[in-house]
Amino acid sequence: MKVRDVMTRTVLSVRPETPLKDVAALMVEHGISGVPVVDEQGAVVGVVSEADFVIKERGREEALERIRHRPLARFLGHADEARAEVAKIQAATAGSAMSSPAVTIEADRPVREAAAVMVERSINRLPVVEDGRLVGIVTRADLVRAYLRPDDELERLIRDEVLVRELWVDPAEVDVRVERGVVHLRGTVDRRSTAELVARHVARVEGVVAVDSELGWRLDDSEIKAPAPDYFSPYHRA
């Protein structure tokens, strides 16, 4: 499943010159924790989140105090950080308060990649871009909904996409049954490596909770090794 399959396509966004009070009103009205900031071409240039407003609440004096009491701050890099906070505290527009560069994801990336980015960056929403322009937004709630796929839809995806398109396995050889997201695989395929590959690919389908595979095989190829190259063969190339 791709990010475009779960993202929200109607996206609230603001421009860099949007007054910060209007940004706050928009977030409160729609109950959202952040909003992308886009330029005239629709490219995401930053994000204003609740964290940016928290910095303003901490107050300008607190940030300035940290600068005054750090004699070595310029060498440790703390002065620049504190001055950046002061700039945010004094911000009156989205462009001056936003966090930049924005963390975004391409619409054609796998959903699991979006989940990894959210966990790694500790963020709850991710602007989705296509050809550099904002086309949607994906939230943690959207990722949770990906796991609510109906069992019959999962069965169809596993047969049509995993078995046929990805692995070229005859779907008549594999009985696929899904119960509350748990996939049960039964049948016999040509090789042991194929049976293991089917189970691994099925487990990566978004919405699959677990895989119970009892696939058998006609040939155990686990001990088969590729022949060593014949260096004396006229067909061998160094």
| Domains in the chain: boundaries | 3-146, 151-219
Q: Are domains 3-146 and 151-219 of this chain identical in fold?
A: no
The count of residues in the chain is: 238
pTM of the entire predicted model: 0.58
Cα-Cα-Cα-Cα dihedral sign, residues 131, 137, 139, 141:
negative
In this predicted structure, the answer to whether residue 14 has a pLDDT above a threshold of 90 is yes
CA distance 156 to 127: 30
CATH of 151-219, one of 3.40.50.300, 3.30.70.270, 3.30.1340.30, 3.90.230.10: 3.30.1340.30
Picking from 3-7, 63-67, 183-187, 223-227, which range would have the lowest pLDDT averaged per residue? 63-67
Tokens of 106: 């391409």
Mean of pLDDT values over 65-93: 55
With pLDDT > 90 as the criterion, what percentage of the chain qualifies?
39
Mean of pLDDT values over 81-108: 75
Q: What is the pLDDT of residues 139-196, one digit of tens each?
A: 888 887 777 788 999 999 999 999 999 999 999 999 999 998 899 999 999 999 999 9
CATH architecture of residue range(s) 3-146: Roll (3.10)
- On average, the pLDDT of the chain sits at 82
Report pLDDT for 193.
94
Tokens of 113: 């990649």
How far from 55 is each of 9, 49, 126, CA to CA, in Å? 30, 10, 21
In this predicted structure, the answer to whether residue 18 has a pLDDT above a threshold of 90 is yes
Picking from 20-29, 30-39, 128-137, 223-232, which range would have the lowest pLDDT averaged per residue? 223-232
Residue that wins the pLDDT comparison between 99 and 16: 16
In this predicted structure, the answer to whether residue 86 has a pLDDT above a threshold of 90 is no
Residue that wins the pLDDT comparison between 167 and 75: 167
In this predicted structure, the answer to whether residue 236 has a pLDDT above a threshold of 50 is no
Report pLDDT for 76.
45
